[in-house]
Amino acid sequence: MIRTVIYLILFILAIVFLFQNGGQPVTLKFLSWETPSPIPAGFVFIIALLIGAVIVWLYHLPQIITLKNKLKGLDRKITLLMEDIKRKENELNEIKKTKEDLEKKLSEKKEEIQEGKKTEEVKEEEKEVESKKSSIFDFLKRKKENE
């Protein structure tokens, strides 16, 4: 923004200079070269401004190209990250659905147990737990006897 304002001020000053001095003829000399006839000062001034603008643009061109390449790379990274976020959100939604299903099944099992409607699976699980308990108690008894 500040750069644009500075360029605008310089442009206005150049226009004012051009209107005040544009009609005066000027003879240019550089080393052994010389213009064959006088040239209007406004024309010389405009050519000098254009050459200066091209030089400044060429000076900044490598930086502009580098920044554009960085921008493209960052845009690609943003796209990949957005896709990754969407994928993770989908995985999270699936996990939430699975959790809800498991919680629903758990609440159903709790209700069945509370109502005294033990299914075969529950009975088998109880048998397994009891057998594990008894094996632990047997182990402890043997350990005491050995001591």
Q: What whole-number percentage of the chain has pLDDT above 70?
A: 80
Spans of all domains in the chain: 13-120
Dihedral pair phi/psi, residue 40, rounded to 5°: -60, 140
Q: Say which residue, 122 or 7, is predicted with more confidence.
A: 7
- The mean per-residue pLDDT over the stretch 106-122 comes to 71
Question: Using 50, 70 and 90 to split pLDDT, how confident is the model at 36?
Answer: confident
Q: For residue 63, what pLDDT is reported?
A: 94
- Phi-psi group of 129: left, alpha or beta (phi > 0 → left; psi -120 to 50 → alpha; rest → beta): alpha
- The mean per-residue pLDDT over the stretch 26-55 comes to 84
pTM for the predicted model, two decimal places: 0.47
CB 120: neighbour CB atoms within 10 A?
Answer: 7
CB 82: neighbour CB atoms within 10 A?
Answer: 10
- The mean per-residue pLDDT over the stretch 99-126 comes to 76
Q: What is the CA angle 136-141-142, rounded to 5?
A: 100
Q: For residue 136, what pLDDT is reported?
A: 59
